[in-house]
Amino acid sequence: MVRLGAVDYLNARPLVYGLEMRTDIFSLRFDVPSKCAALLHEGSIDVGMIPSIEYLRGHEPYLIVPGSGIISNGPVASVALFSTKPVTQIRSVAADTSSRTSNGLLRVLCYEAFGVDPSFVPMPPKIDEMLTACDAALLIGDPALYLDPASRGLLKIDLGQEWTTLTGLPFVWAFWAGRPDALSADAIRVLTEARDAGVAASDAIADTYCGPERAALGRAYLRDNIKYMLGEREAAGLTHYYELAAAHDVVESTKPFVFY
C-alpha cells in the first residue's frame, strides 16, 4: 500500500476525489503543504502533494506524477499578500508557516516585480497577529481564499496574478512526487483518473467542503482559478520559477524535473 500525503485545502480535493475508497492501493492522510513536504523528506509517506519548490530540497531524487498539479494561470485567489500599505512600502512580511512555494515566490516577486527587500517572519496563519507584528501577511490556501480584504481595509496582492503578469506563464504550486519505486503504472493511472473525476465533480466538491455559505465562492474558485493539468506551458512556468528561485538564493540550485 502506498502511503499518500495530500494537502488539506479545497484546491487539492479534486486531485484526491474517490481515493479514500481505494484502500487496495493507497492509505491517505491530509496535512498543510509544509507538513506534506516534511513527511516525504523524512520518509514517513511514499508520495506527497508537495509544494513545487520542495522538489529541489529533497534528500533523494523524486519523480513527479505526470499530467497533474495544482496550477494557476492568472489570479489564484488563495495565495496572497495582505497589507494596509502599498507593496512598495512594505518592510516586513509575516509569512504563513504552512507555505513553502508561496514564500519562495514572494521573495522572487519582491526582487523581480516589487523592488523591495522586506524581512520575513514565519508565523501561523492568524491575520490579526500577523499584521500586528509586520507590515503585511502572506496567507495561502483556505485562509487566504475566505478572507475578505475590503471588510478589514486591506490590500490583497494575488501572487498568481503577479507571476503571470511578470512572466506570461502559469504557476505550478504543487504536484504529486515520490521516490522512484513508490508508484506502479496502475497507481499512476488511478491518480490520473481521480484528477479527471474530481475536475468533473468540482461543484459538488465545493458544496460539500465549503458548506452553503461559501459554496458559490468555492465553486467559482475551483472552476476559474485552479487548473489541474500539468502540460508544456505549465512545465515552462515551473522551470522559470526554479531558475529565478536559484538566482535569488531561495534554493541552492535548480535541476531538471523528471516524471514517472
Question: 114 and 55 share a domain?
Answer: no
What mean pLDDT is predicted for residues 97-104?
91
Domain that holds residue 67: 2-71+170-247
Residue 48: count of CB within 10 angstroms of its CB: 31
Is 8 contained in some domain?
yes
Specify the CATH number for the domain of residue 213. 3.40.190.10
- The upper half-sphere exposure of residue 228, i.e. CA atoms within 13 Å in the direction of its Cβ, equals 24
Average pLDDT over the chain, rounded to an integer? 96
With vertex at residue 111, the alpha carbon angle to CA 106 and CA 113, rounded to the nearest 5 degrees, is 80
C-alpha cell at 139: 496567507
CB of 160 within 8 A of CB of 76?
A: yes
pTM of the model: 0.95
Is 254 contained in some domain?
no
Residue ending a domain, among 148, 167, 186, is: 167
Question: 237 and 182 share a domain?
Answer: yes
Quote the number of domains for the chain.
2
Residue ending a domain, among 167, 199, 226, is: 167
- Give the burial string for 19-41 (b: 16+ CB within 10 Å, else e): beebeebbebbbbbbbbbbbbbb
Residue 213: count of CB within 10 angstroms of its CB: 7
Is 35 contained in some domain?
yes
Is 257 contained in some domain?
no
Strand, coil or helix: what is 69? strand
pLDDT(228) > 90: yes
pLDDT, one tens digit per residue, over 179-192 is 999 999 999 999 99
